A and B are shown apart, each in its own frame.
Chain A
C-alpha cells in the first residue's frame, strides 16, 4: 500500500470513530431546546474537563502555536500565560451563571444579560456581534483541517475535499445530536490532541537535537532573540512589551466570554462539576509546553515552509516518521480543529435563534430546533466558502474577534455582581467599547503603546457603563437582587 493511502485510511478511521461517537451521544438527549443547546444540563466532570480544554485549544493552538514559536519565538509565550488567568474567575462566575440558568431557564449568555437588563435590542446586538466574531473563527478551523489533510496526503486529497469531508462530519453530528455530540466527541478529541502533543513535543527535539536541553543550547547560541519575551513580530522585528502584555490581558478577558465557552456553564450537571473543571484546567493548559517545543525544534531545521503556520505538518512530512505517526498527528490536528469548530457552529446557531430571533417572535420548541439546524448548515457553508476561497487576513480577523468578545465581560460581570447597573448603562458601554475597538482596529497607528484594541475598548467601555448606570434610574431592587443576591437553593422546601 502506498504511504499516502495508508495515512488516508488512518484519517478516515479517526473520522468514522468521531462520527459514531457524535451520533450515539445524541440518543441520550431529550428532544427539547434545553437538550439541544445545553445537553439537558447533564455533563459530568470527565466530559466538562475535555469540552473546556478541547474547545479552548483549537487549530490556532495546535498549528498556530508551533507556527508562532517557530517564527516569532517567545512571543508565543503569551498563549501559555493567559489561559489560567482567564479561567480562574470562572470558579465563581460559572456556578453563579449556572444557578441563574436553572432559576430562569437560560441556555445562552445573552439570555442571562437580557434577563437582568431587559432590552430586545441588546439581545439582537449581542447575537449579531457574536456571529461576527464566530464566522472568521470557524473559517480558520475549517481551513486548518483542510490544509493538514492536504499536507499529509502529499496533495492527493486537496484542501477543498479534506475540509468538506471533515466538516461535513461535524455538521452531521451537530445536526443530529447538538450539545451532547459536542461534549462526547470533544472528550475523544481532547484525549487525542493532548497525547499527540506530548508525544511529538518530546520526540521531535530528541530526534533532531538529542533532547530538549541540547536543543535550547544550540538555539541560545544561534538565535537567542527567539528565547526571551516579548519575542518578535511576524516581520521579524522586536515585539513590544505593550502588545505582548495587552494580548495576554485581552485574551484572558475574552476567553471566558466566548459565547460557545460561557454557554458550557449551562451544560454542567452541578456546581461542583464546574468548579472542578476550573481547578483541573491548568493540567490541560500545560500541553502548550510540548506544542512550543515542536515549534522551537523547527527553528534550526535546514529547510523552511512558505507559511510558518505549517511548520508542524512540514516537519512531520520531512523527518521520515512512520506513516502511522503521521496519520495520528493528522488526527490530532483534526481533533483540535473539529472540537472547536463544532462548538462554534453549535453556539452560532443557538445564539442567532435564541437571542437574535427569540425575543421578537415566539417560536415553538420544535421550530427553534429546526431553525438551529438550518443555521448550523448555513454558518458552516459560509465559513467553508471563506476557507476555500482563502485570504490571509483571517488571522487578523480572529485577533479582532477577541476585541469583540472581550467587550462582553463588563456587562456579564455587572449582570451578576453589580446591583446598581442599568440597561442604558450596559447598552451605552457595549456600544462605546465596540466603537473604540473598531476605531483602533482600522487605525492601528494610533494605538497607545501598541496596546491591543480590545484593551483600549475596555478602558472606554467600563467608565461609560458605570457613568451612564449611575446617571439613570436604579432598577427595581427586587429584580437586581434576583441576579446579584444569594443563589443558595432554598434549604427547606415550603410544604
Chain B
C-alpha cells in the first residue's frame, strides 16, 4: 500500500503535471538547479521508504509464519 502510494506520488511528481512547478532554476540545492535536485530528491527518498516498507513486510511475514494454519499457504 505505502510503496504503491509512493510510486504513484513519485510518478506524478516527476512527470507532467507534477514536475511543472518544479521546473525552475532557483532555489538551488547544493549548487544544483532546483529542477535537477527534484528528481534526485525523489530517488534519495525512495531509499528510506523502501527500508520502512521492508520492515513492515518482514513483520507481516513473521506473524503469518507464526499463525500455524493460516488461510493461505500450500501446506
Contacts and interface: CB of A to CB of B under 8 A. Distances in A.
B36 A227 contact: yes
B43 A229 contact: no
Interface in B12-57: 14-17, 19-20, 23-25, 28, 30-33, 35-36, 39-40, 42-44, 46-47, 50-51, 53-54, 57
Contacts, number: 119
Given A211-B31, A224-B25, A249 B6 contact: no
Given A81-B39, A242-B16, A488 B50 contact: no
Contact of A492 (B11, B17, B20, B75): B75
Interface stretch (A258-266, A282-290, A350-358, A413-421): A282-290
A248 B40 contact: no
A206 to B, nearest CB: 11
Contacts of A279: 47, 50-51, 54
A447 to B, nearest CB: 15
A213 B16 contact: no
B43 A84 contact: yes
Interface string A283-299: 10110010010000000
B16 A81 contact: no
Contact of A83 (B25, B33, B43): B43
Which size class do B's interface residues fall under?
35 or more
* Interface SS of chain A: helix
A282 B36 contact: no
A85 B10 contact: yes
A155 interface: no
A285 B43 CA distance: 8
B40 A278 contact: no
Contacts of A84: 10, 42-43, 46
Nearest to B37: A289
A482 to B, nearest CB: 9
B14 A248 contact: yes
Given A249-B15, A491-B68, A491-B73, A228 B24 contact: yes
Nearest to B45: A282
A91 B47 contact: no
Contacts of A220: 25, 33
Contacts of B30: 212
B75 A81 contact: no
Interface of A: 74, 77, 80-81, 83-85, 88-89, 91, 211-213, 215-216, 220, 224, 227-230, 241-242, 244-245, 248-249, 252, 275-276, 278-279, 282-283, 285-286, 289, 292, 485-492
Query: Which 8 residue pairs across A and B have the least CB separation, nearest first?
Result: A213-B31, A245-B15, A486-B72, A241-B16, A81-B14, A490-B75, A212-B31, A228-B23
Given A77-B39, A279-B51, A490-B73, 10 more contacts: A81-B39, A85-B10, A91-B53, A228-B23, A241-B17, A241-B20, A248-B15, A285-B43, A488-B65, A489-B74
Interface of B: 3, 6-7, 10-11, 14-17, 19-20, 23-25, 28, 30-33, 35-36, 39-40, 42-44, 46-47, 50-51, 53-54, 57, 64-65, 68, 72-75
19 contacts: A84-B10, A88-B6, A91-B3, A212-B30, A212-B32, A220-B25, A228-B23, A228-B35, A229-B23, A229-B35, A241-B20, A242-B16, A248-B11, A248-B14, A249-B11, A275-B54, A276-B54, A286-B43, A485-B74
